[in-house]
Amino acid sequence: MAKIAVIGDSTSVAGFRPLGFATFAVRHPDDARRLWEDLSGGEYGVVFVTEPVYEAIADLAAEAADRPTPAVTVIPGAGSPGGVGEAKLNRAIERALGTTMLIREEEE
């Protein structure tokens, strides 16, 4: 049994609260660093972070990358440009293959 957490600016996360998600609104992306210890403790199975927040906590999230939970997943925030989640995926590909070229070629 676990909860789902959403961290981000209040505009992006507010809507998740009525659905039963645990929402953490941060005024500034760096404020999320202080929340991280509670979030990675095991109470939360999935932690959704908006793109600016992920950029602020990327090093903390990397430490959780080799554990099954929590699964840190990037979602777009309201008004953020996007592409961070894709970049995170590309880093995983690069880690596995040493390059990201291979997959791109295959898709085309």
Partner 1 sequence: MAKIRVNPNRMELLKLRRRGDVAKRGHKLLKDKFDELLKEFIARISENRRLRAEVEAQLRDAYGYFAVARAEAGRAAIAQALLASTPADLLDTAEKSVMSVRVPIFEQRELSEPGGYSLATMPVVLDEALAKLAAVAPRMLELAEREKAIELLAAEIERTRRRVNALEHVLIPSIDETIKDIQMKLDEAERGNLTRLMKVKDIIAAQEARERER
Q: Which is nearer to partner 1, 9 or 56 (CB)?
A: 9
Residues between 35 and 94 with contacts to partner 1, criterion CB under 8 A: 45-46, 48, 65-66, 68-69, 71, 73, 75-76, 78-79, 82, 85-86, 88-89, 92-93
Choose which of 9, 12, 36, 52 interacts with partner 1 (CB under 8 A).
Answer: 12
* C-beta separation of 50 from 81 below 8 A: no
Read off the amino acid at residue 30: D
Q: Taking the CB of residue 97, how many other CB atoms lie within 10 A of it?
A: 11
Q: Nearest Cα to 26, choosing from 50, 58, 3, 62?
A: 50
Read off the amino acid at residue 87: A
76: buried, middle or exposed (CB in 10 Å: 19+, 13-18, 0-12)?
A: middle
16 binds partner 1 (CB under 8 A): yes
Q: Which is nearer to partner 1, 21 or 33 (CB)?
A: 21
Name the site residues for partner 1 (rule: CB under 8 A).
Answer: 1-4, 10-12, 14-23, 45-46, 48, 65-66, 68-69, 71, 73, 75-76, 78-79, 82, 85-86, 88-89, 92-93, 95-97, 102-103, 106-107
